[in-house]
Amino acid sequence: MVPVSHRYPRVRTGPGHTGTVTTLFDLGETNSHSDPVFVYTDGACSGNPGPGGWAWAVAPDGVPSGAGRDAATTNQRMEINAVLEALRTLGVAPPGATPPPIVVVSDSTYVVNCFRDRWWMRWQANGWRNSKKQPVANVDLWRPLVELVGQLDVTFKWVKGHSGDRMNDLVDRLAVAAVTAG
């Protein structure tokens, strides 16, 4: 096993933003590339805006996983960031191989509907402006996420938050813990 931080780029950092992959794994050992990887994602924010956290974990046992925080953010940004960081990690394959299909499971209708209902296509066609001709919120996260999703085999599935789904509850706890980890 090779630490993720040694095989893959460290997650984005900047003023007030930190993030790490919290477990060890080797993608070559985790999936035969015929079965999809189910990754659960969540974001949390204290205050909204305020300090926030994001987390992702792979089903069925939460390994691998990643989490991070931002000192001043919103819940929506943390939801997007959770997916972005999960795909940045899981979308990397060894040389000569292709990444596995990925199913992102999120309780964020904002994230899921963006891809399921193809909001991003309208935004892109309109110069990253919404239906009210205003700049799309969080475009600095949407653009790299849309680009990454276009490079991978990704589907999105919505799960009701706080409904007893074990993996959704896990990433919720990880995201909330990341808020206070500062």
Q: Which positions are annotated as active-site residues? A: 42-43, 79, 107, 162, 172
Separation of alpha carbons 55 and 127, rounded Å: 30
For 39, the enclosing helix (H) or strand (E) is strand 37-45
State how beta strands 50-58 and 17-21 pair: unpaired
Tell how far CA 145 is from the center of its chain. 9
